[in-house]
Amino acid sequence: MEWTIVVGRYNPEGTIEGEPEPPPPPPYTNAVRKTYQTFTVDLPKHAAVLDGLIYIREYVDESLVVRCACRSAICGSCAMWINGHARLACKSRLDAVAVDGRVTVEAAPSMGVVKDLVWDQSPFWKKHLDAMPWLENREPIPEREYTVPNAMMENLIQEVSCISCGCCLMDCESFAVNPDFLGPHALAKAYRYADDPRDAATTERLRRYSAPGGVWDCTHCFECVSVCPKGVAPLDQILKLRRMAVEAGFTDNNGARHADAFAESVRHAGRLDELMLVPKSNGLFNIAANLRELPGAWNLLRAGKLFSMFRRPIPGVQRIRDIFKKVGGRFGGRQEADKIEAYDRPYHRL
Amino acid sequence: MVIDHDVVVLGAGLAGMRSALEAARRGADVAVVSKVHPVRSHSNAAQGGINAAIGEGDSWELHAFDTIKGADYLADQDAVEILCSEAPGDIIEMEHMGVIFYRDEHGKLGTRAFGGASKARTYFVGDITGQALLYTLYDQILKAGVKVYEEWFATTLFVDDGACRGLVALDLLHGDLHLLRSKAVIVCTGGMGRVYEPSTNALICTGDGMSLAYRAGAPLMDMEMVQYHPTTLKGSGFLLSEAARGEGAYLLNSKGERFMERYAPNKMELASRDVVSRAETTEIKEGRGIDGCVLLDCRHLGRDVILRKLPQIHELALDFVGVDMITDPVPIRPGMHYIMGGIKTDVKGRTRVPGLYAAGECACVSLHGGNRLGANSLLDTLVFGRHSGGDAATYAKETPPTTGGEALLTDEQRRLQALLERPYRGETHARLRLEMGQTMDTYVAVERDAAGLETALKKIRELQERYARVSVGDKGRIYNQALTFVLELGYMLDCAEATVRSAIARTESRGAHYRTDYPHRNDDEWLKHVLIVHGKDEPEYLPVTITRWQPEVRTY
C-alpha cells in the first residue's frame, strides 16, 4: 500500500532559504522553523509509522534522524507528534493513524528540537531526578527479601510499566504553561516509590510533592491518561499522591485548601460557592494574595458570577450531607481506601 | 576534549550499570558511556524473569546442573558454579534496591517455571522483569551519582603499550569527538542481533563492544552459538516471552498436535530453547507448519492469567499481528535472539588485554555454552557485572594514571572526516546490512552445513570488501545517525565473520549449533571452545573446564 508521510524537519546546521545565518546552537528551543517534507512509501497495511520512517532513513534520505531501538513499544525512544498528538511511532499502525493514507509526524512543539524528530530530553530527565526516584530502605533491612503481600507489589506494576517515552509530558497542559511542573511521568514515578511498603521516606516525598510544581499543579485535563502507550494513567497516580499527602497532614497549601473548600461548599450548600473558593484556597488571611485576586473578582462581578453569597443551600441538601457522612473521611470518601490503608500500615506488622 | 576517569564502562544495560555501581562502591571514579540513554538499553526487552535457587527443595547445584545440561556441556563449570551459587544474593540485593518482584501467598518471593529448569526458580515482575530491573538500577546509579555520558558513540578503544586505557567516543548531540582516558574499560554492549534479519533484538544491538574488543586483541569465543528463540512473532520477529510456555501455553502444528511430544516427551514445551526451535523447524520443514509458522496457544490459560501475568505479550500480538491470544492461537516461528559466545573473559570479567573487561551478553565467560537457559541472561549481567566492576576498581587502584592518547584522538577525527567525505558509489549501509542479515538467517541459522557456511563466509567477505565503498548520506555534525550506522555495520561484519568462521570450525552438533552434516555431539574431539583472534586465519581452541558434572546424553 502507498502511504504519504509528511515529516516536520529541522536541521540545526542547515540554512533555510532567505536566511543567511544558520539557527543558533543549543540550548534547544521549540521556536524553530521546521520544513515539512513529503515522502511516499510502499508498506504493508499493518506497518507502523516507525517502519515508514526507518524505510525513509535507510533508502530515501539518510539524513533523516529519529530515535528508535526496540520497535515494539518497550524502549520508549520514538515518542513524537503524530497528527498532532504524542504517540510512539512504533505502536502507531499506519492504517490506524493515517487519514486518507496521509500522516504527519514531527517533534512535539512543547519540546526543544535537536534535529528532525530528535528532541531535547534533558528537562524530562531533570524532572525524573527531582521526583527522588529511588527506594530509601525501611530499617532494618532484612537479610532476605522484605515480606510484603503480592497485592502491594502488583499495585505498583502499573507505574513500573512506564517506559519514559515522554508522551505524557509532551501533551501535558500544565507543563505547557508552567515548565516547573514536575510532570505526569515524574509524579507517576513518585507514587511508585511513595507507596512502596519498603520505603522509609514517604513523609519526605509527600512534603516534596506538595510543594509548588507538585501534585496540586495538575489541572486534570486527562491528556496524560489518553496518550500514555502503556496504560500508566499518570493522573490517577497524581490523585493517589494527593490523598496520601493530605492524609499525612500536608494541607498548608493552595491545592489542599482548594480541595477542602470545594468539598465543604458542596457539603454545606449542595453547590459551589465561587466567591469563597478563591480566598479559601489562598487562605482567608493571606491578604496579599487575596488582594491580587481583586481584578479577577471585578471581572466575575461584571459577568454576574459573584452573587453566590446570597444563595441558599439547594433544596434537599440534607441528602447530600448524608452522602458525605456515609462515606466519611476528610473529603468524604477514599475511593481506594484499602490501598491507602495498606500504605498506612507499616510493613513489618504485616 | 580529553576526560579522565578511573574506570569507563561502555554500555548502560544491566551489566553496564551493575558494574558501574560496583566500581563506584569500591571508590573508583567511574563513568558510563552509552550510545542511547540507559533506559533505552535492550535489557528492557527481557520479559520472563531471572533465575536463582532460593526456594526450599532447590539448590544452587541443581541450578548449575540445569545450566550445564542446557549448555550441552560447553559451559565452563567453574564459572557456572559462581553464577548459580551467588545468584540468590544478587536477587535479594535487587529486591532491596526496590524491584517489585512477584510474591507468593506468604509475601515471600514467588516463582514461575521456565524452560530447561528442573525446578520453578524464575523470579519475575509480570512480563517486564528486564524493564523493572533496568529502571531500578538506573535509579540507583542516579542515587550514587555515577557520571553518564549518554548518546555518546564509541569509535575505538585506546590501547597503550598492550593495555586498554580508555576509548574515543562521539558525542552525538553536539558532534564532538572525545578521548575518555581511564585505567580500565568494561565493555557491556550486549548482543549482535542485527547481524541477523530478522531478529528479536533492538536496532541498537550491533555488536559494537565485541568488535572493538576483538580489534583491540581480545579473542571472540564460541561465536557459532547463536540462540534462536522458539516463539517470535510472525513477520516482525518480535519476542513472545518463554513466560507464556512457563505459564502453560502449548505449541501446536497445522494438525493441531502438541508436537513437542515427539521431541521432548518429559519437558514438552519447556525443553531447552535449542531443542524446541529445532523441533519447530522440523515441523515446518516437513509440511506441518502454517505459512512458515507454528502456533502458540494460550487460550486454555484463560483471560485472567493472560491479562495479569502476560499483559505485554498479549498487547504485542494484538498490535503487531492483530491476534487476541485470549481467543486465538498466535503464529510464531524460531527467530534469532541471543548469542552465547562473545569476548572471552575469565570469571572476573578480564579479557586477554590488560585493563579490558567485558560482562553481559557481549562477554563469554562461558556460562551458557551451546545454549542459554531462559532467565539466566539477566542473572549473568548482574553477577558478572558485579565481578567485573569490582575487579576493575581494584585494578584501577594499582594502576598509575594514564597519559597520552591525543594522537589517537586526532587520528580518529581524520578517519571519521574521511568517511564523511567519501563519495557515493552505489553502496549504502542499509542494503549491505540487509544482505548480511538474510545471509546469516539462511545459512547460519537453526540448521547448518559446510556448503551453506562456506557460501555465507564468501558473502561476508564480499560485503567486507563492499563496505570500504559505503558512503554516509548525512554530512552534518549534529546527531549524524548515518555515520553511526556505517560504523555499526563495520562492527557487525566483524561479528558475522567470527560467527561463520567458528561455525565452520566446529564439525559436530552441540546446543544451538546443529550441523546436518555432523548431526551428533562429539565429546572426544569437541569438548572445547573455539576462539577467533583478530589478524589470525586459524581459530584457537581452549578446553572446557569441567568440575563435577561429566557430560551425559541430553534429553528432555
More reliable by pLDDT, A316 or A136: A136
Q: Rounded to whole angstroms, how far apart are CA atoms B158 and A271? A: 72
Q: How confident is the model at residue A342 (pLDDT cuts 50, 70, 90)?
A: very low
| 3-state secondary structure at position A79 | strand
Q: What is the pLDDT of residues B242-301, one digit of tens each?
A: 889 989 999 999 999 999 999 999 999 999 999 999 999 999 999 999 999 999 999 999
- For chain B positions 32-51, those within 8 Å of chain A (CB to CB) are 36-37, 39-42, 44-45
Task: Read off the pLDDT of residues B375-399 as tens digits, 9 standing for 90 and up.
Answer: 999 999 999 999 999 999 999 999 9
**What are the beta bridge partners of residue B166?**
B181
Interval B341-368: pLDDT, tens? 999 999 999 999 999 999 999 999 999 9
Residues B236 and B208 in one domain: no
**Minimum CA–CA partner of B433 in chain A:** A58
Looking at the complex, report in whole angstroms how far the Cα of residue B140 sits from the nearest Cα belonging to chain A. 6
- A343 Cα to chain B: minimum distance (Å): 15
Closest chain A C-alpha to B524 CA, distance in angstroms: 42
Q: Is residue A136 part of a domain?
A: yes
Claim to verify: residue B140 and residue B1 sit in the same structural domain: yes
Strand order of the β-sheet with B30-34 is B147-150, B30-34, B7-10, B184-187, B356-358
Dist. CA A292–CA A279, nearest whole Å: 10
Beta carbons within 10 angstroms of residue B18's beta carbon: 31
Query: Is A111 in the same domain as A128?
Result: no
Q: Is the pLDDT of residue A247 over 60?
A: yes
Residues of A in contact with B479 (CB under 8 A): 65, 114-116, 118
The parent domain of residue A176 ranges over 122-252+344-349
Of chain B, the percentage scoring pLDDT greater than 90 comes to 93
pLDDT for res A130: 96
Contacts of residue A308, defined as CB under 8 A and 6 or more positions apart, other chains included, come to A271, A272, A273, A274, A275, A276
What is the band of A350 on the pLDDT scale with cuts at 50, 70, 90? very low
| CATH code where residue B293 lies | 3.90.700.10
Sequence-ordered list of residues with C-beta below 8 angstroms from that of B519, at least 6 positions apart, any chain: B509
**Residue A344 pLDDT > 60, yes or no?**
no
Instruction: Kindly state whether residues B528 and B446 are assigned to the same domain.
Output: yes
Mean pLDDT score, A7-24: 71
Same domain, B136 and B3: yes
Model confidence at A310, pLDDT cuts 50, 70, 90, reads low
Counting residues of chain A whose pLDDT is more than 90, the rounded percentage is 65
Is residue A329 predicted with pLDDT exceeding 70? no
Give the tens place of pLDDT for each residue, A171-184. 999 999 999 999 99
Contact A48, A94 (CB under 8 A): yes
**Total domain count for chain B?**
2
User: Do A97 and A136 share a domain, yes or no?
Assistant: no
> Rounded to whole angstroms, how far apart are CA atoms A47 and A95?
8
What is the predicted pLDDT for the residue at A64?
97
**For B493-542, what is each residue's pLDDT tens digit?**
999 999 999 999 999 999 999 999 999 999 999 999 999 999 999 999 99
Residues constituting chain A? 350
Q: Which residue has the higher pLDDT, B320 or A104?
A: A104
Cell reading at B255:
494438525
- B92 belongs to a structural domain: no
- Same domain? For B365 and B251 the reply is no
Partner-chain residue, chosen from B95, B140, B478, that has the shortest CB–CB distance to A146 = B95
The answer to the question of residue A298 being in a domain is no
**A91 lies in the same domain as A129:** no
Whether B284 and B208 map to the same domain: the answer is no
Query: Into how many domains does chain A fold?
Result: 2
Average pLDDT (B173-186) is: 97
Q: What is the pLDDT of residue A330?
A: 63
Q: Which of B321, B331, B261, B325 is nearest to B292 (CA)?
A: B331
Average pLDDT, chain B: 96
pLDDT at B45 > cutoff 80? yes
Average pLDDT over residues B445-471: 98
User: CATH number for the domain including A34?
Assistant: 3.10.20.30
Closest to A215 in 3D by CA, of A234, A196, A195: A234
* Residue B278: domain span: 230-336
Residue B443 in grid coordinates? 545459512
The reply to whether residue B478 touches residue A93, judged by beta carbons under 8 angstroms, is no
Per-residue HEC secondary structure of A215-243 comes to: HHHCCCCCHHHHHCCCCCCHHHHHHHHHH
**CATH number for the domain including A175?**
1.10.1060.10
Mean pLDDT of B435-461: 97
**Count of H-run helices and E-run strands, chain A:** 17, 7
Q: Could you tell me which chain A residue has the CA closest to the CA of B427? A: A59
Which segment of A17-26, A85-94, B39-48, B177-186 scores lowest on mean pLDDT? A17-26
The yes-or-no verdict on residue A336 having pLDDT over 60 is no
This model of the complex carries an ipTM of: 0.94
Question: Is there a contact between B312 and A62 if contact means CB atoms under 8 Å apart?
Answer: no
Q: Name the domain boundary from B336, B359, B382.
A: B336
* Banded model confidence at residue A272, pLDDT cuts 50, 70, 90: confident
Mean pLDDT of B138-145: 95
Last residue of a domain, one of B336, B360, B395: B336
B100–chain A Cβ distance below 8 A for any pair: yes
The residue assigned the cell 473521611 is A329
Give me the pLDDT at residue A21, please.
55
pTM: 0.93
DSSP string, B395-436: HHHHSPPP---HHHHHHHHHHHHHHHHPPP-S--HHHHHHHH
For range A211-235, the mean pLDDT: 96
Q: Residue A333: which pLDDT band, with cuts at 50, 70 and 90? A: very low
Region of B170 please: left (phi>0), alpha (psi -120 to 50) or beta: beta
Mean pLDDT, residues B5-21? 98
Last residue of a domain, one of A119, A154, A185: A119
- The reply to whether B229 belongs to the active site is yes
User: Residues A230, A234, A239, CA angle at the centre, nearest 5°?
Assistant: 145
pLDDT of residue A340: 36
Query: Does A24 have pLDDT greater than 70?
Result: no
